[in-house]
Amino acid sequence: MARPTPELINALRKTANDLQHGAPYQWGHMGGCNCGNLAQHLTKLSRDQIHQYAMQRHGDWNEQVEDFCPTSQLPIDILISELLSSGLMLEDLKHLERLDDRQILLRFPIEKRFLKHNFREDVVAYMNMWANLLEEQLLEKITLPNFNKFELVY
| 86 within domain boundaries | yes
Name the domain count of the chain: 1
59: closest CA among 34, 37, 28? 28
Of 83, 103, 81, 82, nearest in space to 1 by CA: 103
Q: What pLDDT score was predicted for residue 36?
A: 96
Domain that holds residue 57: 6-147
Residue 134 lies in a domain: yes
**Cα angle at 121 between 116 and 126, to 5 degrees?**
70
153 within a domain of the structure (yes/no): no
Helices 34-43 and 90-98, packing angle to 10 deg: 130
Residue 118 lies in a domain: yes
pLDDT tens for the chain, 154 residues: list them: 899 999 999 999 999 999 999 999 999 899 999 999 999 999 999 999 999 999 998 889 999 999 999 999 999 999 999 999 999 999 999 999 999 999 999 999 999 999 999 999 999 999 999 999 999 999 887 765 555 555 544 4
Give the number of other CB atoms < 10 A from CB of residue 81: 14
